[in-house]
């Protein structure tokens, strides 16, 4: 079962997660859409554990997904719950509003009966979240002064320069 951690939930740490939870900030960026893109993730509260990468021609949505996918792959063997914090409503709402359940019921078609975009990234991401059972998602407003969100944004933008 998937759970949602809201920003006003009780029992949170200074980094925004429940006690004992690993809080991961993830972000994607794109210069042009499509265009060169970058993704990054970092472990709160200081971002000492992090990763980033990019692609020469991609979309912002793909980079947002790649950031979360990379983080979960890197933390796959780590025990305990994970809170993914993202400024992408596309990523967060898939889980908080359970869009993925409808996609599976409709054989990977969205509510308009069109093929789900970025299925190649969604499938392994949804599979990992379901298999772990302890991944939570929280939305943060982008470019609003959240230090960790600003850090992963800067890392994602820097990753674009490495693939140009």
Would you please indicate which residues are annotated as catalytic (active-site) residues?
A: 27-28, 64, 87, 143, 153
DSSP state, residue 85: E
Rounded-to-integer distance, Cα 144 and Cα 132, Å: 31
CA angle 77, 17, 87 (to 5 degrees): 95
Strands 22-30 and 35-43: antiparallel
C-beta of residue 115 within 8 angstroms of C-beta of residue 109: yes
d(CA 64, CA 53): 11
Nearest in space to 60 (alpha carbons), one of 32, 86, 93, 96: 32
85 strand-pairing partners: 25, 138
Closest Cα to residue 149, out of 1, 3, 7, 2?
Answer: 7
């Amino acid at each position: 079962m998937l759970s949602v951690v809201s920003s006003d939930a009780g029992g949170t740490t200074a980094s925004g997660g429940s006690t004992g939870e690993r809080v991961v900030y993830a972000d994607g960026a794109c210069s042009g859409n499509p265009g060169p893109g970058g993704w990054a993730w970092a472990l709160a509260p200081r971002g000492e554990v992090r990763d980033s990468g990019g692609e020469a021609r991609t979309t912002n949505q793909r980079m947002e997904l790649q950031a979360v996918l990379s983080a979960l792959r890197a933390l796959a063997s780590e025990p305990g719950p994970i809170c993914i914090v993202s400024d992408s409503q596309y990523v967060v709402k898939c889980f908080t509003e359970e869009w993925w359940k409808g996609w599976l019921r409709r054989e990977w078609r969205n509510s308009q009966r069109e093929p789900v975009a970025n299925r190649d990234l969604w499938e392994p991401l949804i599979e990992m979240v379901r298999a772990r059972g302890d991944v939570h998602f929280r939305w943060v407003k982008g470019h609003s002064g959240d230090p960790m969100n600003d850090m992963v944004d800067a890392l994602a933008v820097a990753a674009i320069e490495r693939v140009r």
